[in-house]
């Protein structure tokens, strides 16, 4: 499948509105979750498909990995480069940028030790197309990290309302449960070895309110200026690691090993 400029235009428009770097980090901390499975990524060849801001890739490069950032959107790659300017020279040297379609990555088979994407798989009506393209360039025994929106969250309701009235920026998007994503990965040849998830911080309500006010010329801080109760934060941290609570989080991910 060749580079599709129509898709690129959708994402260029999306990221062009965020070039001021006023972008929330991913809901989940993928770099930390990878460290749960691979404590030391120094020397690993890692690729991120559909990079967005590239912040997770930058962090993995800071930890010593050789990281390729691939995206179909030139605006996304430009944004990732802007975020990388804040990194030290050694980290920037380990980052590589590729403009390409994730369904047709320009790499030899089994080129990477680890591949990850976040907020990408839900845009594919047939998720197997992307995952099979992913599998081709992962080494045998290598890892995949797939991070997606979780079905049983108010985000799903809000998203489908916007989709119904034609207001969703990407036109269409799906969601997953922990069980369904695990099954899909298994069918594609990956053994699930770790799962994780988290709720939005700050809350989804605050983020939506902030976005509305921003369009009206009123700027709220990215994070509300209220102290977070440490006991509540500690409880949330423990709960999010329980398998049952993965069915309540906003975003979750599964790390799989290629078999």
Q: Is 62 exposed, middle or buried (0-12, 13-18, 19+ CB in 10 A)?
A: middle
How far is residue 222 from each of residues 15, 24, 135, 208, 209, measured CA to CA in Å?
A: 18, 8, 37, 11, 11
Predicted confidence (pLDDT) at residue 84 exceeds the cutoff of 50: yes
b/e 105-121 (16+ beta carbons within 10 angstroms → b)? beeeeebbbbbbbbbbb
Q: Is the peptide bond before 202 cis (omega within 30 degrees of 0)?
A: yes
pTM of the model: 0.81
Residue ranges per structural domain of the chain: 5-150+173-197+252-258
In contact, 66 and 92? CB cutoff 8 Å: no
8-17, 84-93, 142-151, 206-215, range with the lowest pLDDT: 8-17
Tokens 């770099």 correspond to what residue?
Answer: 31
- Round to whole Å and give the CA distance between 123 and 70: 16
Higher pLDDT, 210 or 233: 210
**CATH code at 5-150+173-197+252-258:** 3.40.50.150
């Amino acid at each position: 499948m060749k580079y599709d400029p129509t898709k690129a235009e959708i994402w260029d428009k999306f990221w062009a509105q965020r070039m001021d770097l006023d972008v929330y980090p991913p809901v989940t901390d993928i770099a930390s979750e990878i460290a749960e499975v691979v404590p030391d990524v120094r020397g690993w060849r890692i690729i991120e498909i559909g990079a967005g801001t590239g912040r997770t890739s930058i962090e993995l490069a800071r930890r010593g990995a050789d990281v390729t950032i691939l995206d179909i959107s030139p605006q996304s790659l430009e944004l990732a480069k802007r975020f990388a300017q804040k990194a030290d020279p050694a980290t920037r040297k380990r980052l590589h940028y590729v403009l390409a379609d994730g369904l047709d990555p320009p790499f030899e088979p089994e080129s990477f030790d680890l591949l990850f994407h976040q907020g990408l798989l839900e845009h594919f009506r047939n998720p197997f197309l992307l995952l099979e393209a992913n599998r081709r360039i992962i080494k045998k025994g290598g890892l995949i990290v797939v991070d997606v929106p979780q079905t049983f969250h108010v985000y799903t309701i809000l998203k489908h309302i916007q989709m119904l009235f034609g207001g969703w920026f990407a036109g269409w998007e799906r969601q997953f449960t922990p069980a369904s994503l695990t099954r899909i990965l298994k069918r594609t040849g990956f053994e699930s070895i770790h799962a994780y998830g988290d709720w939005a911080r700050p809350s989804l309500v605050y983020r939506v309110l902030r976005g509305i006010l921003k369009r009206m010329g009123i700027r709220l801080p990215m994070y509300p200026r209220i102290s977070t109760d440490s006991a509540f934060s500690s409880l949330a941290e423990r709960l999010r690691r329980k398998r049952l609570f993965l069915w309540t989080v906003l975003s979750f991910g599964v790390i799989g090993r290629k078999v």
